[in-house]
Amino acid sequence: MIFGGAMAIFEGIAAIAEDDLFLAARHYVFEFGLTGWGWVHLIVGIAPVIAGCAVLSGALRARFFGVLVAGLGALANFLWVPYYPLWALALVAINIFIVWALCAGMHREANDGRTA
């Protein structure tokens, strides 16, 4: 989560700086300015870093928060596909993997608590 959040932070900083790295998407349903998308990705990048640090503490609430944040990150990067397709799809895949890992960990912990 910390790595995926750091990648989103760098993406947000590059978009806020209005770098020539991104494509200009026209006639797109979710048409924000590049700076607006930069702020969205910066916020969506900071939240997973915080959630990742909280997950390292082992709290169950942190896992739920991590699943929520990673899901929002996957959604934001899916909407970002027209601007920078390869990077956006890589971050969508990372966020989906994070959701899977956090949910599989919760499932494993629930099975360990059973008495036969």
User: How confident is the model at residue 35, as a pLDDT?
Assistant: 80
How large a percentage of the chain has pLDDT more than 90? 33
| pLDDT over 70 at 52, yes or no | yes
Q: Which one has a higher pLDDT value, 67 or 84?
A: 67
Residue 25 buriedness (CB in 10 A; 0-12 / 13-18 / 19+): middle
State the chain's mean pLDDT as an integer.
82
**Residue 114 scores a pLDDT above 70:** no
If pLDDT is split at 50, 70 and 90, which confidence band does 24 have? low
- In this prediction the pTM is 0.78
Q: What is the pLDDT of residue 83?
A: 79
Q: Answer yes or no: is pLDDT of 72 > 90.
A: yes
Alpha carbons 71 and 109: distance in angstroms, whole number: 21
- 10-22 pLDDT, tens digit per residue, is 888 888 887 666 6
More confident residue, 38 or 65: 65
Residue with tokens 């036969």: 116
pLDDT of residue 116: 47
Query: What is the rounded distance in angstroms from the CA atom of residue 33 to the CA atom of residue 57?
Result: 37
Helix (H, G, I), strand (E, B) or coil at 37: helix
